Chain A
Amino acid sequence: MMLAKELEEILGKENVSTRMSELYCYSFDASGVEGLPDFVVRPATTEQVADVVKLADMSNIPVVARGAGSGLCGGAVPVEGGIVLDMCSMDRVLDIDIDNLQITVESGVVHEKLNKALEPYGFFFPPDPGSTAMCTIGGLMANNGSGMRCVKYGTTRNYVLDLEVVMADGRIVHTGSKTLKTASGYDLTDLMVGSEGTLGIITKAVLKVHPLPHSRSVILSSFDNTTLAGKAVVKVLSSGIIPSACEILDSTAIKAVRRFDPSVELPDVGAILMIEVDGMENAVREEAALVGKACEELASAIKVAESGTESENLWKARRLVGAAISKIDVKRTRIYVGEDIGVPIKELPGMLEYVRSLSEEFDIHIMTYGHIGDGNLHTGMAIDMLSEEELESAHAVADRIYRRAISVGGTVSAEHGVGRARAMYMELEHPTSLEVMRQIKRALDPKGILNPGKMGL
């Protein structure tokens, strides 16, 4: 209770909670990982974050940063208890500097709000996660999230120029510069992005922004099965076109979208590809035609969205597909395991075929969707949470998916992060470098207070 008093002195009584109703709600994210914190605190300034971390350092108690809690791997779950830093109060856009192509934000800013702030200037922050309406920039950076537009625009790490970070001993450091490139010193910015709060607490970020494209067009191609769709992706990408987005939805995902929003017109087929091209109008028209040409031998139908509204409705529905699977059968709940693998582009058809075979072998519906253009596949299983047998099957399927992805040179997480849920695969995926990661962790956080129990560290 002494610690509670000290936290109250730093943050004010109203920003420290030990009430069970709150602690319990902070013991989850959107994965199945659980861990009860001892304190939940809501800092409003970097200095408060630093003081809390100093206190945690002196008291040798874990500190876990948390954004909106929309993570899918237990990254923000305090599996060893301690203090949860709810960063949502640090939600200010501090500076929009279009002349320098950058924006400065606090880490609790919600992704969608960032883009709303940039829109009047004709600019945007390209990484586009499905959770845009709720996830915070801090969470996005900590997991190097990306979403639908990274085929052309890259992932979050490609947009981070400088970070303000509170280190494990409470020091406040800046990792980069305000320039668009630098060759000076170790790239600590890149080290922090994707470190899931295990090396420092990100409090502010300078992000590079991109001009909004003049025009966008979505090409909807239908296929008899996911394997054919996978082959079409290889053809499109190898033909020299870089789409701004390239998404796959299998028949179950199509069904989920239609159930969620019947007004979205999607064909009743084995799989569809939603390929977006953007840029100047003429270029977009030409590229759309080339995408159609690349798909035509394999697709059963090709359609170009007729208006911006139709395209936006398609993306809106696509963003929600992960959760909408529960609408197909109300007794089943989406379980997020094995859901975020990445494989080399050429391995996509084989991986899709493998997932289909697992579905048959385990007699379990596996919805496949995701950012296939960068080799990132989301697999979704909806199970009866009261059935031990189904839960076991889902985990067995996930294990096979993870191992297969690693065996073909892929990764267990392309954008959701490792957290606790995938920590056991780190050794397999990084047999030679995990120890280096551990050395870095020990050097920067010798007491191991920052988000312990994560990433297999």
Chain B
Amino acid sequence: MLLAKGISKGMDVDESMIDSINTCTTCGLCEQMCPAGAKPTDVFEELRRDLVRMGKVKGSQLELYNNTLLTGNPLGEKRSGTSFILEQRDVPKVADYVYFVGCLGSYRFREDALRTYDLIRDVGVTVLSDEVCCGSPLLRTGFDADDLIRHNLEQIEKTGAHTIIASCAGCYNTFKNDYPDRFNVVHITEFLAEHMDELGLGRLDLTVTYHDPCHLGRANRIFDAPRKLIMAVCDLKEMKTNRENARCCGGGGGVRKGYPDLSASIAKKRIMDVPDGVDNIVTCCPLCRVNLEQASDVPVIDLLDLLYIAQKEVLKAV
């Protein structure tokens, strides 16, 4: 924040300042705590846009930007979008709902993405045939994401859908707050919590803890829906810091990509919040999941995985 003040007064920007500004995960915990109501996350995102305009960017940031523009995903994977779902499922072209899979779902956790689709498809859900990154990694690191947003919007309009269902906290936050307000946006946990009775969930002999993703919890106040789903299938023991005061996993704001050591040490600190005697850490953001996995002895799973196991439990009993 002080650097923002200095730069706004014309202070020369050196490498150490770029690092300092880029190491904010945009988790918003400082904003939550500030009695004066300061909004450091907004300041940092604006400052990063200023740095990009000045051409003061790091190699890792440029790599992220170029990957996303060239391949449609920040991972730099060959563009295939949602074809793995379209090939394996009978997906309607027109529907009331669009399931926005997200880059980690499309390129890293495809099985999870298929399970998610299976959980919700009965209400009439399609996917975008050429889904590209929602734009979150670029927007959080100071770049423009207009082309990505425009591309996704055009496809959403073709489906006739009135609601986007996002299963990634970062995608949800971006659709909710950075896209034009033309359709409803719900997180998968909100949607499933409303349709819980139709999911056929069994009870599991597990005790889990829940990590609130910053961009879902603190940024968009979605705290109850994931907990409702978890408590429907097993016991929940809260982390030492939770809900609006939850610590960050360390992955957001481009920090995992640009500063992996720092990101890992933040994850390690978050793992210290895990209570004793839990079988799993549950979260509902793939980025939080991968970042916490590196620091945790307790297995980290997506909430959708937990629900899938709970469904299987019922089938086993039958």
| Residues of A that sit less than 8 Å from B by CB | 19-22, 24-25, 28, 260, 320, 323-327, 330, 333-334
Contacts and interface: CB of A to CB of B under 8 A. Distances in A.
Q: Which 5 pairs from chain A and chain B are nearest by CB?
A: A19-B16, A320-B35, A21-B16, A326-B36, A323-B36
Contacts of A330: 37
B11 A24 contact: yes
Interface in B22-47: 34-38
A261 to B, nearest CB: 9
B36 A324 contact: yes
B136 to A, nearest CB: 26
A334 B37 CA distance: 11
Contact of A334 (B3, B12, B20, B36): B36
Nearest to A382: B36
B3 A25 contact: yes
A330 B37 CA distance: 8
Contacts of B3: 21, 24-25
Chain B interface residue bracket vs A: 10 to 19
B305 to A, nearest CB: 37
Contacts of A19: 14, 16
Interface in B195-249: none
B17 interface: yes
Contacts of B146: none
Contacts of A323: 34-36
A36 to B, nearest CB: 10
A320 B35 CA distance: 6
26 contacts: A19-B14, A19-B16, A20-B11, A20-B12, A20-B16, A20-B17, A21-B3, A21-B14, A21-B16, A21-B20, A24-B2, A24-B3, A24-B6, A24-B11, A25-B2, A25-B3, A320-B35, A323-B35, A324-B35, A324-B36, A324-B37, A326-B36, A326-B37, A327-B36, A327-B37, A333-B36
Nearest to A256: B35
A341 B36 CA distance: 22
Given A19-B14, A24-B11, 7 more contacts: A19-B16, A20-B16, A28-B2, A323-B35, A323-B36, A330-B37, A333-B36
A385 B172 CA distance: 36
Nearest to A19: B16
Contacts of A326: 36-38
A135 B12 CA distance: 31
Q: Which of B2, B6, B20, B35 has the most CB of A within 10 A?
A: B35
A318 to B, nearest CB: 11
B19 interface: yes
B34 A22 contact: no
